[in-house]
Structure 1
Amino acid sequence: MKTLVQFGANKKILIDGKPHLGTDRLVPLLRNFRRHLQDLGVTIKFGTRVDDLHIEDGHVLGVMVSESADELRLRSQKLECDAVILAVGHSARDVYQMLLTHNVELLQRDFAVGLRIEHPQELINRIQYAELASEVCRGRGKVPVADYKLANYIDKNDFNESSDSNVENRSCYSFCMCPGGQVVLTSTNPSEICINGMSFSRRASRWANAALVVSVTKNDFEALNYYGPLAGVEFQREFERRAAIMGGGKFVVPVQTVPDFLENKLSVTSVPPSSYRLGVKASNLHQLFPTNISEALKHSLVMFEQELPGFICNEALLHGVETRASSPIQIPRDIDSYESTSVKGLYPVGEGAGYAGGIVSAAVDGMNAGFAVAKKFNLFHGDVKSVLGKAHNAGLVKY
């Protein structure tokens, strides 16, 4: 947190119980980070795609890269190196496929899928603050905009015998709650729809949104005939494609009010306004997922209404689909050295490698991996040794 402040974040994050940077403030913050790294001698390449790893005798010797605009990869070049830190995001599907061609071990990983729910922010304020809701003033008042965090454990015995045969115990929970935020697109392929949420620093929009996701496992993948290390990826794609078809293309997002979702119906009247800017279309979201997942979402919505009376209302709008809450794979690595168990010199790090579940945990994982690489190549100097010693004393790293 102190490092973020050093590079331009608001000092309030040092004392806030739920620190928030704001998407709009990330741009100057990251620019300051970049300039600092460049001053230290780091080369940062934009518009550059990693096409392949150069591996010989089980050791990575470099990466093959080309310009992103070079779709045919005609001018690929090799960057030689002593080690590769693979810190990709959890949607790096092309990288996962490339790793398989080198027989790098990938493991299936449980994750969660669901929908993103949006309410008017004023409604959430009233639910959480009652008469104090008038003090919010769209992020500028005496009381901060209200948020929530919800979780529900679903026992398979809660379902009746007519439900899908693949019913099992599951968890349903809110994820990435964005008060005063907006629903945003995260897919780049118009044949696949995947969404997320964000808030600007002031959290001043009219809406509050959060993902409502249900845990899924190998049993769910195999029920749709998806097997192997990338079964979870194909599972994600299945519902992203279904959502794109429901929306009708051009990144239009399928939506449904919560009461209609619970009653398995589609109202012909217009849906309430949404913060999503590329357009929405009223759709049968209750038909999007397999019955067991839809029923888990319905059961949880009813439970969440008991915790937050007013949560179920005609203004509550579900958006499809949220499938990338965390990585569907994990790349095995040594617990101490952080090095891949399949390829020497390769260091899988962060969310995309299956070792983190958010910004802070990914940052800590990257820091620990950096220390491990520095130790292996004897790159420590006085300042680094001091930092490493403090981190070790704090229980963050082992060396």
Structure 2
Amino acid sequence: MSVPITIRNITKRYGDTVVIPDLSADIHDGEFFTLLGPSGCGKTTLLRMIAGFIDIERGTIAFGDQVINDVPVYKRDYGMVFQNYAIFPSMTVEKNVMFGLENRKVPKTDAERRTLEMLAKVKMEHLAKRFPENLSGGQQQRIALARAIVINPQVLLMDEPLSNLDAKLRIEIRQAIADIQREIGITTVYVTHDQEEALSVSDRIAVMNAGEIQQIASPEAIYRRPFNQFVAGFVGHSNSFDATVLENAGGRGGLRLAGGYTLALDTLRADVAAGDEVVVSVRPENFVVADSPTGLSGTVRLRQFLGAHVQYILDDPHGREFLVNQSADFGTRLFEIGDSIDLGLDARAVNVFDGSGRTLIEGVTSNVVGNDRAAAAS
């Protein structure tokens, strides 16, 4: 039976370096919860604290109602999948998966049945008698996943499990992981630095930076409504433009960008005032090609055809560079290097930040428990 995970005010230091200063989060029962962030942000440290490989200096972590701070690793009811698979080379596929069941003294007949059922779930039953040296990297990772969940743990922990696979295999295996997790309904904490991976498999994502969670939200919310500029810049690509708030602010005003482009906007918070200097963040796909000059334009310096869309790098008259994606549908006019493009913005999709990097869009929150520092992070 899976359980929720409650993390409250945990701290981790290495000497004088504070890796995790004061972190709290609620992970729901049965959800696929991903820790996403750049190298060194503390996501693996947090996972290893949950696993018990690293001591908790302050605060608490609980599986359901049980605080596990002082519970030994071997008594914490979780399965773990490592980056390097960590399967036993001297054992067959079947014996690798059965290992945890045998350690738990599960009767042989029951252990064999559960092992075969799990191998079927990961589509590896036909390779049960093979040794790991005869398996591909993707097959070995499937075995590691099967071994972790065949013991019916309360929690599944996964530390960058796809980083050693090539791009095509990563897509295949991440879908297999998502399918199996949803079928079993086990609470899963997944660590990755790959944004596409996190967006594709997660129920919710916690974006981390410098040991702090910046935002916890669904993949759609993280991408479309980032809480601060760090999240906007780390998850996907965002173009930034300086702007000034026009009159009648407070949710019914507009913005003027350098160059004179104006944008009516009804999503600003009520406390935003006319004359405030802000930063407008625009995803590459949220530009609109205009038929006449708008005050927002650029000259194509680089064009990349990517199948479903074309990606342009534009230089604007003020010396700025920005990225624009255009649908490559049949019949759409595609631009060439050297072409000048007049643009507009999709007002529904833009994000606006104040000088500290915090969102000014109404209704967007970090959803971070007990950690107000994320509000000012940039």
Name the TM-score class by shorter chain.
Answer: under 0.3
Higher fraction of strand: 2
Higher relative contact order (CA 8 A, sep 6+): 1
Normalised by the length of structure 1, the TM-score is 0.23
- TM-score between both structures, scaled by the size of structure 2: 0.24
